[in-house]
């Protein structure tokens, strides 16, 4: 029997349209920097993909810089952005940030990184942020949607706050591509990170959206492709697959809206309604929550036990950010939200998308209550 996949926020299933685009492009030969006809054909495919991605993300094609991953784009944005303000010594990031951004403390040193506190629902504490973002801050980086809890951050307020202080503002927006969607031109952001595999594209390609007026330093040495920022031959096949996945996702958001996702969420929460000591984390206002992430704190269990039991029952889920998966450590996001090590060790994430089937939801709600009961019994021994 097919498994039920509820780790969409870590990596979505490869969409058929993305697979078809990638396979068709792999038949082409040629380096897009070449001058002969075959190379020009590959170049055209690459630039068509760039234009398609730009259209769906509200950007200009020249603002789309292809990278190998979201983590690479994050590093370029935060480190490169801070390099554009050499007179400023600090960067400011959300305390519940994705590891792709949070790990910059290793490069900059913790004394140069200011953590902006979050509230118990994982939303940014704007009053505290205002006190920390001053003229010594070069870059402010706050994710658009929290990847563990699904909280939509007040990006417009963050951008305005950063710009008032003369800082650049970046957002890791990989979880916002599906819902609520990204309009780079309207966002007020200077730099935005996206990745294909979060929306059913292939692993191995991301992009940094960078305002045209910014001249970021090169990331590494080489021939200076991708606006002189990322060297190396870009993959037209991966770019075409990324563009195809984004077109499908944009169509779903436009034609289906978020009601199918809320319906799945209601079914999942309904299965938990009779279980004591299970808390649903995130904002109570639906306008501040993406529907495709359900984050639970389950008192009296070890999160790994629940995930093990779900896994044995054919259900894939996770404790949170994929870059932490397999490391068996408490969630940094939950620690930032509540300060409770017990909460951080007993929280799981269920994430899904438009392509999730009713049969998968049926499987989840059939096995989740029993998995919680057995995990509690194991923790009590």
CATH number for position 280:
3.90.1150.10
Question: Do 42 and 171 lie in a common domain?
Answer: yes
Question: Do 243 and 273 lie in a common domain?
Answer: no
Q: CA nearest 324: which of 58, 171, 96?
A: 96
Question: Do 265 and 230 lie in a common domain?
Answer: no
DSSP secondary structure letters along 176-235: GTTTT---HHHH--SEEEEEGGGGT--TT-EEEEE-TT--PPPBSSSS-TTTTTB-S---
Question: Do 135 and 181 lie in a common domain?
Answer: yes
> Which one of 228, 252, 276 terminates a domain?
252
Q: Report the interhelical angle of 37-56 vs 236-255 (nearest 10°).
A: 30
> Which one of 229, 252, 275 terminates a domain?
252
> By three-state DSSP, how is residue 83 classified?
helix
> What is residue 335's DSSP assignment?
H
For the chain, the domain total comes to 2
| CB 17 within 8 Å of CB 357 | no
Indicate which CATH number applies to the domain containing 113. Answer: 3.40.640.10
Question: Do 212 and 108 lie in a common domain?
Answer: yes
> Which one of 227, 252, 277 terminates a domain?
252
Q: Which domain holds residue 319?
A: 4-12+256-380
Active site residue 323: yes
Q: Report the interhelical angle of 236-255 vs 16-26 (nearest 10°).
A: 160
Q: Which residue among 323, 335, 365, 378 is the active-site one?
A: 323
pLDDT values of the chain reduced to their tens digit, one per residue, 381 residues: 689 999 999 999 999 999 999 999 999 999 998 899 999 999 999 999 999 999 999 999 999 999 999 999 999 999 999 999 999 999 999 999 988 899 888 888 889 999 999 999 999 999 999 999 999 999 999 999 999 999 999 999 999 999 999 999 999 999 999 999 999 999 999 999 999 999 999 999 999 999 999 988 777 766 677 777 887 889 999 999 999 999 999 999 999 999 999 999 999 999 999 899 999 999 999 999 999 999 999 999 999 999 999 999 999 999 876 545 455 578 889 988 888 898 899 999 999 999 999 999 999 999 999 999 999 998 886
């Amino acid at each position: 029997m097919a498994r039920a996949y509820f780790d969409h926020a870590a990596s979505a299933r490869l969409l058929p349209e993305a697979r078809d685009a990638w396979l068709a492009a792999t038949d082409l030969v040629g380096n897009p920097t070449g001058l002969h006809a075959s190379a020009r054909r590959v170049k055209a495919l690459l630039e068509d993909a760039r234009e398609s991605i730009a259209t769906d993300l509200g950007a200009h094609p020249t603002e789309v810089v292809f990278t190998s991953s979201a983590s690479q784009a994050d590093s370029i944005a935060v480190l490169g952005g801070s390099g554009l303000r050499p007179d400023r010594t600090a960067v400011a990031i959300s305390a519940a940030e994705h590891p792709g951004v949070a790990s910059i403390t290793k490069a900059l040193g913790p004394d140069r990184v200011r953590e902006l506190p979050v509230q118990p629902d994982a939303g940014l504490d704007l009053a505290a942020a205002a006190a920390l973002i001053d003229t010594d801050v070069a870059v402010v980086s706050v994710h658009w949607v929290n990847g563990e809890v699904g909280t939509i951050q007040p990006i417009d307020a963050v951008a305005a706050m950063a710009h008032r202080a003369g800082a650049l503002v970046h957002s890791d927006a990989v979880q916002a591509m599906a819902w609520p969607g990204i309009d780079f031109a309207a966002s007020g952001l200077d730099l935005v990170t996206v990745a294909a595999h979060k929306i059913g594209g292939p692993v191995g390609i991301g992009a940094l959206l960078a305002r045209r007026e910014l001249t970021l330093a090169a990331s590494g040495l080489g021939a200076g492709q991708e606006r002189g920022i990322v060297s190396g031959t870009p993959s037209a096949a991966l770019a075409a697959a990324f563009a195809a996945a984004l077109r499908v996702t944009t169509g779903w958001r436009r034609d289906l809206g978020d009601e199918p996702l809320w319906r799945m969420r209601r079914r999942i929460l309904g299965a938990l309604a009779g279980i004591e000591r299970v808390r649903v984390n995130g904002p109570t206002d639906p306008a501040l929550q993406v529907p495709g992430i359900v984050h639970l704190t389950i008192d009296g269990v070890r999160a790994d036990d629940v995930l093990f039991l779900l896994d044995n029952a054919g259900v894939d889920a996770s404790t949170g950010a994929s870059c932490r998966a397999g490391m068996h450590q408490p969630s940094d996001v939950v620690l930032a939200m509540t300060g409770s090590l017990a909460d951080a060790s007993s929280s799981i994430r269920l994430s899904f998308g438009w392509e999730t089937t009713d049969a998968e939801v049926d499987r989840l709600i059939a096995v989740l209550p029993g998995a919680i009961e057995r995990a509690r019994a194991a923790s009590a021994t």
